[in-house]
A and B are shown apart, each in its own frame.
Chain A
Amino acid sequence: MNSGNWQWNTFFEAFPVVVEGLGITLGLTVATYLFALIFGFVWTLLSAIRITPIRWLFRWIMEFIRSTPPLVQLFFIFYAWPMVPIVGFALDPFTSAIVGLGIHFSTYIGEVYRSGIEAVEKGQWEAAKALNFSTGQKWSKIILPQAIPPTIPMLGNYLIIMFKEIPLASTIGVAGILNLANSYGSANFRYLEPLTIVALLFLLLSYPSAILINKLERRMNRRFDKKEKSGSKPLKEEKEGAAS
């Protein structure tokens, strides 16, 4: 426990250098998240295709993307995509990170959408049919308004999970906080303080967000799950849940 190894002046010197990357890190998080939200919808559509072999093909592609490392996918987009004959073209590091990490997480987001849609009760679909709703009306007026809200906490969780995967982009040179900390470290031969700053920043940002999402989840559960059950017992459970 030799505290002499920790240098406060290095800490204060490195702090502004590292914090400068925060904008890039947060910007990349938001951009990647939006990409994944949109692309996730594509997966949901593709895996709902009625033609079985095609549906299976897309399900397997999703499984492939989901169970292989995002770091390798990132390298594929950044180093290999420009070399792919005919269709390949070069992307800058920031865009590569959006596409590489965005595609990886879109497969998860797609599953979230799917679970939300499948959770809408069968009776609702039947009712839409019975009332002679068109496909557009059915989705916009009945299915989606019920399918989307319960998935919001899950989507929020994925935002936090993605935020923590964003520093992978430092490996291809996106100048986020981890990248700047590493450059500071190699320039000054001091890794301890800058890396600790990075860890602190992540903790400071993700911990309060996680608490917020948790609260949101509890509120959603109250609105969407327990309302359907009548009687006094669920109400009591609800109170206990809120207090703990």
Chain B
Amino acid sequence: MIINAIAEIFPTLMQGLRITIEVLLGSIILGYLMAFVAGLCRLSKNPIIKYITIFYVEVFRGTSLIVQLFWLFYALPILFGISLGSDYLAGVLAIALNYGAYMSEIVRGSILSVAKGQTEAATALNMSRFQRMRLVIFPQAVRMMLPEFGNYLIQMLKATSLVSLIGMTDILYYGDILRGNNLSQAPTVYFLILVFYFIMALPLIWLTRKMETASKKGVAS
């Protein structure tokens, strides 16, 4: 009986898989991009760039993702009279801006924790500010970021489930429809959804472990 139920539920949930993965990939790419941009801007010597970045990071770290999502989806179009055009953009933007803000602190912290002697050595070699960052500081900082970055992959996967709340047809959206059709199916439906997410999380967990070992490799501690 359970097997029959699963056979009935499984294909419906599969329909939502594509949206979930699309939102996840968009969020990962844009989120990491935001992390590097904001992390570097935070270290800028230009006070305007620096304080705008601080404002962005603190606002997005200080409020809930779900509030940001609703705000981008419902409130932003009213405020500026422009619509983001699609729920996909609102969903990805909310997740990317939120986790980008968190991860920018990792970028900043890693860059700051590269030993000072490295900057001095690069200066002594007559490197420009840009060369110093690109060739000396950044490559050393990136490996320090890896373990934390891995953890945020799983956080972003979990966050994608929120897009069903703005009407995107992801796994959870189809799950809610199935529950609406037949309430007694709910345990199987939601358990299967959890399994779906866990299976998607497994490669990310594996990747996180890989990133951790890569980050430790060849570093004397």
Could you tell me which A residues sit within 8 Å of B by CB distance?
1-2, 5-6, 63-64, 66-73, 75-76, 79-81, 83-84, 88, 164-168, 170-171, 178, 182, 185, 190-192, 195-196, 198-199, 202-203, 206-207, 210
Contact = CB atoms under 8 A, between A and B. Distances in A.
A152 to B, nearest CB: 21
Given A5-B81, A79-B186, A83-B183, A199 B201 contact: no
B67 A67 contact: no
B61, B75, B176 — which one has the most chain A CB atoms within 10 A of its CB? B75
A191 B197 contact: no
B75 A203 contact: no
A192 B76 CA distance: 7
B29 interface: no
B220 to A, nearest CB: 18
Contact of B194 (A68, A198, A199, A207): A68
Contact of A195 (B75, B159, B189, B204): B75
A164 B59 CA distance: 12
B202 to A, nearest CB: 8
If over half of B's interface residues share one DSSP class (helix, strand or loop), that class is named, otherwise mixed; here it is helix
Contacts of A202: 62-64, 67
A1 B65 CA distance: 24
25 contacts: A2-B80, A66-B154, A67-B158, A67-B204, A69-B158, A69-B160, A70-B158, A72-B190, A72-B197, A73-B194, A75-B190, A80-B179, A80-B190, A164-B63, A164-B65, A167-B64, A167-B67, A171-B165, A182-B70, A190-B78, A192-B78, A192-B79, A199-B68, A202-B62, A203-B62
Given A72-B197, A164-B64, A199-B68, A191 B74 contact: yes
B143 to A, nearest CB: 22
B157 A6 contact: no
Contacts, number: 125
Closest 10 CB pairs of A and B: A69-B161, A191-B74, A67-B201, A80-B186, A76-B190, A80-B187, A192-B75, A69-B158, A192-B78, A202-B63
Contacts of B201: 67-68
Chain B interface bracket (under 10, 10 to 19, 20 to 34, 35 or more): 35 or more
A172 B88 CA distance: 23
B162 interface: yes
Contact of B179 (A2, A71, A79, A195): A79
Given A5-B79, A67-B198, A210 B186 contact: no
